[in-house]
Amino acid sequence: MSDTEKPSASKGLEGVVAATTKLSDVRGLDGELIYCGYNINELAGKATYEEVVHLLHRGKLPNSTELAALKAELAAARKLPDGVIELIKQLPNDASPMRAIRTVVSALACYEPPEAQDSLEDQATRAIKLIAQVPVITAYFHLARQGKPLPESDPTLGEAANFLYLVDGEKPSEAKEKTIDMCYILHADHGMNASTFSARVTIATLSGMYSAITSAIGTLKGPLHGGANEGVIKMLQEIGSVEKVDEFVADCLKNKKKIMGIGHRVYKVLDPRAPHLQAMAKKLSGELGETKWLDMSERIREIMVSEKNLYPNVDFYSATVYYSLGIPTDLFTPIFAIARTSGWTAHVLEQLADNRLIRPKSLYDGPDDLKYTPVDER
């Protein structure tokens, strides 16, 4: 094939449509995010996370009976096998939570029957278990690394409230529960993002639900994906005060350094999730009487919109929200993983329902016609 006939490679699969989905649509030019036909603005602050789980997994918002049944199903699925709890206790205390979660989710597969002959219904059951258990794994590792006991989950609490109960050792206030619940909703799904794609690639080989979610967690862990929210708060801590923002941003722009939480691969306008998190950040900052983090964030936003026409993404304000709630920085990305498990598992089930092995081509750009030379002649 001549050079003129060679296909071009799309770096980062930019613009490549990899699947058809009914789960979510990211409309980058319009700044819209759709879950199963609902604009995110119709769900955030109105629905609960469990309602969104039902929407993603069963195709519609639940009625009261269906919602109660799903809540009971999730609560009953939270308990971890004893061997998994022992594994959590044995992990190094200084391991990053995302490494721990990835490892433990993989280990869960060892406590399930072989997956090769599973029906779609069996995989759907495992999906619900993972949605319920990833928050418990996260909380248990956080407690275990501090040498604290690992309490039983409270079946009377919803997903957000139970996670906070395990982490904090007490039932959360209604305001704190609603804040995390909305964060779960905003992070639940987001089209064919990197971690969702890795989950679908893995399940397409019929490797199983646990393999797919382990792949997704490993992908989300990266600083160019879910790890960006931790980078935002570290950036703000490095800046130190609003008076130093202009100098910091100018230096980043001059030296082509990335400003965490600004810009998005798909959205060319404001990320539709950001205003919800911005409002929560303002509310929390006002209640706490500590506006430094928000003030710095807002000044960064002003400069970047004015000078680069780049807008905050979902990570930008979520960092201030989590920090204001007293959540440890290295649990920011795990909270993302907790929420996105509902979307990942829904995509896995959708892939399985009409599966074909995902096998793209690559464009070879290496030498040709090389001849082997014995090692002592090289």
Active site residue 315: yes
54 is catalytic: no
Catalytic residue among 142, 271, 315, 347: 315
Catalytic residue among 122, 168, 225, 295: 225
Cβ–Cβ < 8 Å for 101, 337: yes
| C-beta of residue 376 within 8 angstroms of C-beta of residue 224 | no
Beta bridge partners of 32: 27
Report d(CA 105, CA 195) in Å as an integer: 15
**For the chain, the helix, strand and coil percentages under 3-state DSSP, each to the nearest 5:** 60, 5, 35
Can you tell me the distance from the alpha carbon of 270 to that of 274, in angstroms, rounded to the nearest whole number?
7
Q: Is 187 a catalytic residue?
A: no
Beta partners for 225?
none
DSSP state of 33: E
Q: What is the DSSP string of 14-61?
A: TT------SSEEEETTTTEEEETTEEHHHHTTTS-HHHHHHHHHHSS-
Q: 27: which strand partners?
A: 32
Identify the residue whose tokens are 């920011």: 332
Q: Which of 264, 271, 276, 347 is catalytic?
A: 264
CA distance 73 to 62: 14
For β-strands 38-39 and 32-35, DSSP reports them as antiparallel
Tokens at 22, concatenated: 């009914």
Residue positions annotated with a catalytic role:
225, 264, 315
